[in-house]
Amino acid sequence: MQAIPLVRVSVMLPVVDFLAQIGCPTDRLLEQISLSSDVLNQPENLVSLYQGSALLENAANLEGLEALGFLVGRQTSLYKLGTLGSILDNSLTLFDLLISLEQVVGMANSGEHASLRWDNDLVWWKFHCDQPTQESNLQAQRYDLGLYLNILHQVLGPAWRPTELRLEGPPCRSLLTMDDFVGATIHFLCPYNAIKIPRAALSLPYNPLATDADLNLHPDYEGFWHSAPARAFFDSLQQLIQSLLPYGCPGIGLVAAASGLSVRSLQRHLAEAGLTYSKLIDQVRFNRAVALLQQSDVKLLEIAMELGYTDPANFARAFKRWTGSSPREYRLSQVDAKHLCNIGFRAFADPSNNLAHVFRGCTGGQYRTDQQFN
């Protein structure tokens, strides 16, 4: 079973901003795809790619703009894409930028695939956006096209025009009449999208102030990597549910639709894993609760809201059912355990301490003696 394609909110924000600029009813469009406008306040959170694609398709149909996705992408700079843009901004040349983009684009959109392909003195920037369901994702493809052309224009100059393109979708009259494609040969109904680039352009500077440090040395890289869309189905399903919880406990119909599945198909996959939908919700809530309770600055009320509980008392009852302890008791036990571990490890590290021969480590706040380790 393939993972559910997920995309960061930061990739969707330029779409919402553009729609607001042209007077499109964004709140109503978000409601149509079962997303709250509050989701836009967390740009690094994940949402279903199906929902993101549906937002673009619905808006294009409503506004009668065949090339809406391209228009959005064409005015989107990398700095508008949150952490993704920040990481990519530390690219010295166009080649450095595109190779870096190959590596990190999946951390922002697990349905997006991009790569450089060499062809003698020319290179192709090849990209494709997954959409396993029957719904169209033409506007998402055109958004990518506009975004990548905008990046190339930043390096090659505003007067540069591609000489040849390959596009997955059918012929689009609106694109053909745009100044961006004057003199270009465009092949439609291709198995992937691609833009032909002069090979010599790869050595042109992108950011002369870049440090030339490895991607993973960027201060935001580790957090970006850890929060990236999962590559396994159940892991991505849990990420999807976690992203929906703060706006109320999602029903199985909503989660199935956002996963690109029917309710029956989702139930079958859960049954094969020995799960029910309610058990899955409990599992996601418990894992998230444990993570948040270890952050002492997060209030219990905030945790309850994050998990989709309107009443903190319901969260406390559920947590006690899962662990036998209240959230407050659990948090205090974790603080005590960390304190005892710190004492134990300091003692172990100091040979002059008379505790060193007794305390060898701790598990759950309980010390073990030498005899227990032998």
CATH of the domain at 110: 3.90.1520.10
The answer to whether residue 339 scores a pLDDT higher than 60 is: no
C-alpha closest to that of 127 among 185, 178, 154, 166: 166
Collapse the DSSP code of 114 into the 3-class scheme (helix H, G, I; strand E, B; otherwise coil) and give the result: strand
Instruction: Report yes or no: 260 and 132 within 8 Å, Cβ to Cβ.
Output: yes
181-227 pLDDT, tens digit each: 999 999 999 999 999 999 999 999 999 888 877 888 899 999 999 99
Cα–Cα dist 353/348, whole Å:
8
Residues 6+ apart with CB under 8 A from 103: 215
Residue 305 lies in a domain: yes
**Are 149 and 42 found together in one domain?**
yes
65-81 pLDDT, tens digit each: 999 999 999 999 999 99
**Are 218 and 308 found together in one domain?**
no
**Are 181 and 65 found together in one domain?**
yes
> What residues are paired with 187 via a beta bridge?
166
Among 176, 191, 224, the domain boundary falls at 224
111-126 pLDDT, tens digit each: 999 999 998 888 999 9
337 pLDDT band, cuts 50/70/90, is low
**Are 285 and 211 found together in one domain?**
no
- Tell me the CA distances in angstroms from 7 to 12, 48, 146, one per residue in order: 8, 6, 18
Cα–Cα dist 120/133, whole Å:
36
Among 284, 299, 324, the domain boundary falls at 324
**Three state DSSP letters for 232-301:** CHHHHHHHHHHHHHHHCCCCHHHHHHHCCCCHHHHHHHHHHCCCCHHHHHHHHHHHHHHHHHCCCCCCHH
25-50 pLDDT, tens digit each: 999 999 999 888 888 999 999 999 99
**Are 76 and 216 found together in one domain?**
yes
Domain that holds residue 30: 6-224
Q: Quote the pLDDT of residue 130.
A: 87
Judged on CB neighbours under 10 Å (0-12, 13-18, 19+), 299 is exposed
**Are 187 and 238 found together in one domain?**
no
Residue 1 lies in a domain: no
132 pLDDT band, cuts 50/70/90, is low
Collapse the DSSP code of 362 into the 3-class scheme (helix H, G, I; strand E, B; otherwise coil) and give the result: strand
Collapse the DSSP code of 374 into the 3-class scheme (helix H, G, I; strand E, B; otherwise coil) and give the result: coil
Phi, psi of 112 (to 5 degrees): -100, 135
Residue 250 lies in a domain: yes
If one counts the domains in the chain, the total is 3
**Are 121 and 169 found together in one domain?**
yes
**Are 168 and 314 found together in one domain?**
no
Residue 147 lies in a domain: yes
**Are 190 and 308 found together in one domain?**
no
Give the CATH number for residue 239: 1.10.10.60
**Are 360 and 272 found together in one domain?**
no
**Are 37 and 95 found together in one domain?**
yes
277-329 pLDDT, tens digit each: 999 999 999 999 999 999 999 999 999 999 999 999 999 999 999 999 999 99
Q: Write down how long the chain is.
A: 374
Q: Quote the pLDDT of residue 349.
A: 46
| Paired tokens of 252 | 């199985």
Among 224, 243, 262, the domain boundary falls at 224
Cα–Cα dist 252/248, whole Å:
12
Angle (CA) 27 46 40, round 5°:
30
Residue 81 lies in a domain: yes
**Are 282 and 315 found together in one domain?**
yes
Cα–Cα dist 286/294, whole Å:
13
